[in-house]
Amino acid sequence: MKLNKLLASAALALSMPVAAMAHNHSNLEMGHSWIKQPIPGMTMTGGFISITNNGMEDEQLLAVHSDIAKVVELHSMVMVDGVMKMRAADAGWSIAPGETLSLKAGGKHIMFIGLQQMIMEGDKVTLELEFKHAGRVERTFMVHMPATVEAHHANGGETMQHDHHGDHSH
């Protein structure tokens, strides 16, 4: 009898952190998440994902954390004197209830600067996305060559534009 109570207590204790973590981000629906395979010799690349807020209050993607690069930033593309440039989005991006934040090539994206290791097609990389309300949420991103992603989307996936990054100045 004591063993059954002990096992039940242990199972309950172990399930509580998992339930709490699932509750924190249960209103966020994350779509295809991928990192562009860098060109050989390059030490930077981009990451992409779609995040839908199915909750009743605004959410905000504040940051992304990873040890695959010296610097991981959220970036936006902005027009400066007729030229598209990337800028760090230090405050992140708000996601209104019912809205989807789309991080994609040529637009808002995750920027990895100073890659610590070469990542190749098929590799899986775990990132931590930090949200204002949901806290830190782990998400696995697949490494793909842009042509592979384009083929995936041509066969029923979402449409994405795949351009090379331009000026990386801040």
Q: What is the CATH number of the domain that holds 95?
A: 2.60.40.1890
Asked if the structure places residue 144 within a domain, the reply is yes
Lowest mean pLDDT, pick from 54-63, 66-75, 84-93, 161-170 = 161-170
Q: In whole angstroms, what is the distance from residue 28 CA to residue 50 CA?
A: 10
Domain that holds residue 105: 27-154
Taking only the tens place, the pLDDT of each residue in 35-79 is 999 998 899 999 999 999 999 999 999 999 999 999 999 999 888
Asked if the structure places residue 122 within a domain, the reply is yes
Asked if the structure places residue 125 within a domain, the reply is yes
Asked if the structure places residue 89 within a domain, the reply is yes
Asked if the structure places residue 58 within a domain, the reply is yes
Alpha carbon distance, N-terminus to C-terminus of the chain: 65
Banded pLDDT at 84 (limits 50, 70, 90): confident
pLDDT of res. 148: 55
Asked if the structure places residue 47 within a domain, the reply is yes
**Of 157 and 77, the one with more pLDDT:** 77
Lowest mean pLDDT, pick from 25-34, 86-95, 106-115 = 25-34
- Please state the domain count of the chain: 1
Asked if the structure places residue 113 within a domain, the reply is yes
Taking only the tens place, the pLDDT of each residue in 110-153 is 999 999 999 999 999 999 999 999 999 999 999 999 865 554 44
Read off the tokens for 157: 């996936």
